A and B are shown apart, each in its own frame.
Chain A
Amino acid sequence: MITTEFDFLRDFLKQRSGLVLSNEKQYLVESRLIPVTRRHNLASLSALVQAIRKPGSTALQEEVVEAMTTNESFFFRDKTPFDHFKGLMLPNLMEARASRRKMRIWCAAASTGQEPYSLAMVLKEMRAKVGSFGFEILGTDISNEVLDKAKAGTYSQFEVQRGLPIQMLVKYFAQEGELWQISSEIRSMVQWRKLNLLQSFSQLGEFDIIFCRNVLIYFDQETKKDVLHRIAKQMPKDGYLVLGAAETVVGLTDAFEPVPEHRGLYRPKQQSADAATVRKLGSAFPKLSALTSP
């Protein structure tokens, strides 16, 4: 692959999926795309680049975009977000939604489904507390291939051993030869939809909780800002946003603020700009601050 071809792929992927590739990621492009060239009997990566430049090569273009996405996922990944879900988000939101008795949750880069299914299992485990409260869980991803796998709910022996307690395997899975399939009861709790985060998601409606973990890391600053900005619009004032362990909103958006002592957890900024100004002025005008403090 010559430099101009790599440059073309880089621009193409940035535009199509937001993926940012530095020059030293050429090896990644090669390892991910060589299988695609083989599937289509193309002689080389150069031939693949030529092929996707042709008008009408939409299917192949999509295949290239999908091949370049990273889909590592496991059940109860990083554990902490699920503790926050159980211990903070659910109790608070169930209280706030006591009359509506409905909640919507969105896993915005759901990959092969482990994250939404983990949430569904948590809800099942909390049956007694949750009662007749209605939950809608939506899993979206840019890749058809991983969505198919997510819908099937079928996992390898390796996949069910990373993060999934053995009791949960026994309770919620059935063995199918070498594979393990999550029960139809859990599967029916999650809905799936193909979605590119670069495109509008306003039609999805409002969500009380949004998990958007380990996907922003692949985007550049502008794209991160844009996605977070649009996520904020899909969320009520008392909603929660969950990011990956290595991600933050700091320096990207003013729409969210961290929930203290809950790493990776954010909520729409509570304080209005005016109140903040008053508080700042408070040190100079103590009487004013006395008026605004609780």
Chain B
Amino acid sequence: MKHCLVVDDSRVIRKVARRILEDLGFSIGEAEDGLKALEACRERMPDAVLLDWNMPVMDGMEFLHALREEAADKMPTVVFCTTENDMAHITQAIQAGADEYIMKPFDKEIVEAKLQEVGLI
């Protein structure tokens, strides 16, 4: 079973994402900010990270850079999932190595389509 880490400071979003991803056959870990996500990755590197951008302590972009720094050779698939829905943010995310990008609000169809896009389902 593939493992996905859901990183979002909103408990509601994490819950919604968990339900969708579990339906798609993933096991789920959760983290409420980038730093906690980084710790979770050190403990168990997931196959995929669903990553919010704006979070306290450490945001999604900082997390992505930090993870790349310490685990470049075993990077998981990273899918941003954020309310930042402008071209500038999307471009920045792709340049930082994100594999896909979901603009909130999202639903099951979008998550499924994006995970198919990156070959995880």
**A237 part of interface (Cβ distance < 8 Å):** no
The bracket for how many chain B residues form the interface is 10 to 19
Task: List, in ascending order, chain B residues with CB within 8 A of A162's CB.
Answer: 109-110, 113
Q: Once the chains bind, are B87 and A175 in contact (CB under 8 Å)? A: yes
Stretch at the interface among B16-24, B47-55, B56-64, B100-108: B100-108
Residues of A within 8 A of B117 (CB): 165-166
B68 lies within 8 A of chain A by Cβ: no
Residues of B contacting A74 in the complex (Cβ-Cβ under 8 angstroms):
113
* With known contacts A157-B85, A161-B103, A165-B117, A170–B109 Cβ distance under 8 A: no
Question: Which of A163, A166, A175 has most B Cβ within 10 Å?
Answer: A166
A:151-172 near B, CB below 8 Å: 157-158, 161-163, 165-167, 169-170
Q: How many A-B residue pairs have CB under 8 A?
A: 32
User: Are B102 and A170 within 8 A (Cβ)?
Assistant: no
| B91 part of interface (Cβ distance < 8 Å) | yes
- Taken together as a complex, chains A and B put the C-alpha atoms of A165 and B102 apart, in Å, by 10
Question: B84-121: which have CB < 8 Å to A?
Answer: 85-87, 90-91, 94, 100-103, 106-107, 109-110, 113-114, 116-117
**Quick one: which of A76-108 are within 8 Å of B by CB?**
79
Q: What is the bound-complex CA distance between A279 and B113, given in angstroms?
A: 46
Residues of A within 8 A of B87 (CB): 170, 174-175
Chosen A-B contacts, 28 in total, with CB atoms closer than 8 Å, are A74-B113, A79-B116, A157-B103, A158-B107, A158-B110, A161-B102, A161-B103, A161-B106, A161-B110, A161-B113, A161-B114, A162-B109, A162-B110, A162-B113, A163-B113, A165-B100, A165-B117, A166-B90, A166-B94, A166-B101, A166-B117, A167-B94, A169-B90, A170-B87, A170-B90, A170-B94, A175-B86, A175-B87
Q: Which residues of B contact A (CB under 8 A)?
A: 85-87, 90-91, 94, 100-103, 106-107, 109-110, 113-114, 116-117
Sorted from nearest, which 10 A-B pairs have the closest CB atoms? A166-B101, A161-B110, A162-B113, A165-B117, A166-B100, A175-B87, A157-B103, A163-B113, A162-B109, A170-B90
